[in-house]
Amino acid sequence: MEEVKVTRKYQITIPKEIRMKLGIKIGDNLLLKKEENGIFIQVPTKISDPSQFLWNLTKKPIDIDAVKLVEESWDLNISVEVLKDIRDELRELRLLYEQLVEKFIPTEKPTLEEEKAIEEKDEIVNEKELMKID
């Protein structure tokens, strides 16, 4: 375990040996998690091919024939079992998506300044939409 000093701007320097082993470079983002007895710092997994990563999230292949689902939806006699299967597959995909977001996209609450800027931008967009004449 290494000991580091917190500067007056609440910054720390990660020791070179640790930076080198973990491949941390200037500008990299790190994940911080408050734990019972301290802070856990994690280097996020770098995804070189996001689409390939998403396809590999499931333990088993998901066999969905979108054309068949659409064609079946046109038929008013879709069985309850088919609808249940579709619902279950969509739930599974939603859960996988939520896990991905939770793991790789850190969420932070915006600062008051950021919230104000967002609100102002929304007001401007809404005003422009109101001024639009069809």
In this predicted model, what pLDDT tens digit does every residue of 4-25 receive, in sequence order? 999 999 999 999 999 999 888 8
Question: How far is residue 63's CA from residue 99's CA, in Å, rounded to a whole number?
Answer: 20
Give the residue from 43, 32, 50 showing the smallest Cα distance to 101.
Answer: 50
Q: What is the pTM of this model?
A: 0.38
113 lies in a domain?
A: no
122 lies in a domain?
A: no
Task: Please determine, for residue 57, whether its predicted confidence score (pLDDT) is greater than 70.
Answer: yes
Q: Which residues, 6 or more positions from 4, have their beta carbon under 8 angstroms from its beta carbon?
A: 12, 13, 14, 15
69 phi and psi angles, rounded to 5 deg: -60, -45
Structural domain including 94 reads 45-105
13 lies in a domain?
A: no
Give the torsion through C-alpha atoms of 57, 59, 63, 66, to 10 deg. Answer: -20
Number of domains comprising the chain: 1
- Between 110 and 90, where is the model more confident? 90
40 lies in a domain?
A: no
24 lies in a domain?
A: no
79 lies in a domain?
A: yes
101 lies in a domain?
A: yes
